[in-house]
């Protein structure tokens, strides 16, 4: 008979029982915690769902309201369902102005060398000028074919060789009022075009060398001859010597009336 084993056997049984009890209690506690966490998660999920539902209802009510919405600056936005009335105060005649219409002011010189030799000088807000034929120029009348534009105005002077550098336009070819800017061939005749101002040549329209028919287009589509920096001392006197757009239109209307009467 093992006396040591018999003496310690009750103690071993007691420890084993307590250990099993602790495991059972721990397991029950874990199960309880899981249930509590699950219950809390369900409550949170339910609360979030309710909040989303309330937010959605508020947004729907806001969309259905016909009243205006105020922002932090106090500006009132009209309802989003119809914004057509926002354009009622916008001046729009069905025509969007071009770049040249917006930033250039047109002036005209009529009959420069002969009847129908009409030139248009558009002056930018920064005082740089765009030279082109006026719509009433004889070259642009009827279906005349423009076959050639040449910037070689003499044996020694070619405007296409103009080289400019810096803000002062160093190296630019100087121009006088009666300086030739180019020659245009149309229907077998050659027309020499004057620059009609004092200044410096900034650039010529090189596209005309390959496609002279571009002269029939609007300036912003390639229908210009050259860009010129006028002598600022004579800019105001230049404007005074030219016709404004309104004066030009009136003069053209008078010519059309005279032609119609004859």
Q: Is the pLDDT of residue 170 over 70?
A: yes
pLDDT band per the 50, 70, 90 thresholds, residue 255: confident
Question: What value does the mean pLDDT take over residues 44-72?
Answer: 61
Query: What is this structure's pTM?
Result: 0.64
- What's the rounded Cα separation, in Å, for the pair 225 and 208? 8
Residue 115 pLDDT > 80: yes
Rounded to whole angstroms, the Cα distance separating 133 from 192 reads 12
Q: pLDDT value at position 4?
A: 46
State the pLDDT confidence band at 73, using cuts at 50, 70 and 90.
Answer: low
Does the domain made of 103-261 have the CATH classification 2.40.50.100? yes
Burial of 85 (0-12, 13-18, 19+ CB in 10 A): exposed
pLDDT of residue 212: 95
Residues 74-108: pLDDT tens digits?
Answer: 667 666 666 566 556 666 666 677 878 888 999 99
Q: Is 233's pLDDT higher than 80?
A: yes
Boundaries of every domain in the chain: 3-87, 103-261
């Amino acid at each position: 008979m093992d006396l040591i084993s018999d003496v310690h056997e009750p103690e071993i049984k007691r420890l084993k029982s307590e250990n099993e009890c602790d495991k059972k209690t721990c397991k029950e506690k874990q199960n309880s915690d899981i249930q509590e966490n699950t219950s809390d998660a369900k409550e949170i999920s339910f609360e979030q769902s309710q909040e989303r539902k309330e937010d959605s209802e508020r947004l729907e009510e806001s969309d259905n309201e016909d009243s205006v919405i105020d922002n932090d600056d106090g500006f009132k936005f009209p309802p989003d369902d119809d914004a057509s009335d926002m354009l009622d105060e916008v001046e729009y005649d069905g025509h969007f102005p071009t770049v040249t219409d917006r930033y250039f002011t047109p002036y005209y010189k009529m009959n420069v060398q002969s009847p129908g030799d009409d030139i248009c000088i558009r002056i930018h807000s920064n005082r740089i000028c765009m030279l082109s034929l006026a719509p009433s120029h004889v070259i642009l009348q009827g279906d005349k074919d423009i076959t050639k534009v040449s910037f070689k105005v003499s044996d020694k002077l070619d405007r296409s060789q103009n080289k400019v550098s810096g803000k002062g336009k160093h190296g630019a070819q100087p121009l006088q009022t009666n300086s030739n800017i180019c020659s245009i061939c149309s229907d077998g005749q050659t027309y020499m075009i004057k620059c009609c101002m004092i200044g410096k040549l900034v650039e010529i329209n090189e596209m005309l060398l390959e496609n002279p028919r571009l002269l029939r287009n609007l300036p912003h589509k390639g229908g210009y001859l050259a860009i010129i920096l006028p002598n600022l001392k004579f800019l105001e006197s230049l404007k005074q010597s030219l016709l404004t757009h309104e004066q030009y239109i009136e003069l053209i209307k008078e010519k059309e009336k005279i032609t119609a009467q004859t």
